[in-house]
Structure 1
Amino acid sequence: MEPTPTPAGQPDDAPQAYVGLDAGQAERRARSRGWTTVRSLPPGSVITLEYLEGRMNFEVDGGLVVRCWTG
């Protein structure tokens, strides 16, 4: 099975690498790697599910990234 390709408007970056980082450090790293939109959310936030290329999402609890996903 072939790996899932990275969409053209999205940096080639592993979201799981951000888990455990300080929220500010994670945001700076994401922006430096080319993510155009970085969104930090508290646990249990209600959000829309539309996919936005180039967006990195962080679930932040106690100042640390506990979950990370793209779109």
Structure 2
Amino acid sequence: MAPIPTPPTEPQDSPDSYVGLAADGAERQARERGWSTVRSLQPGTIITMEYLAGRLNFEVEEGTVTRCWKG
């Protein structure tokens, strides 16, 4: 049987700290803080619900992050 992979450690970072920032600056800051994947989405975008360790999701409206969550 194959070993169960260990997911990467997520940065100790609060998603709430990105709300209100400009989307491009927030993405740059997230990558600098260690997030391996940063995804920007428009409000109402249909997405799958799988959790991906190390991913940070931004909901962006008019160039500003309005919501942020892990996975």
> TM-score scaled by structure 2?
0.88
The one-letter code sitting in structure 2 at the alignment partner of 1:64 is T
Partner of 2:54: 54
Name which one, 1 or 2, has greater alpha-carbon Rg.
2
Question: Taking structure 1 as the reference length, what is the TM-score of the superposition?
Answer: 0.88
CA displacement at 1:8 relative to structure 2: 5.1
Amino acid of the residue matched to residue 26 of structure 1? A
1:24 and 1:13 mapped to 2: Cα distance? Answer: 18
Alignment partners' CA distance in 2, 1:38 and 1:21: 14
Rounded to whole Å, the distance in 2 between the matches of 1:21 and 1:48 is 25
In structure 2, the gaps of 5 or more residues are: 1-6
Matching residue's letter, 1:70? K
Alignment match, 2:38: 38
Percent of counterpart pairs with the same letter? 63
Task: Measure, in 2, the Cα distance between the counterparts of 1:9 and 1:17.
Answer: 19
- Measured on the aligned residues, the alpha-carbon RMSD in Å equals 1.1
Q: Which runs of 5+ in 1 are unaligned?
A: 1-6
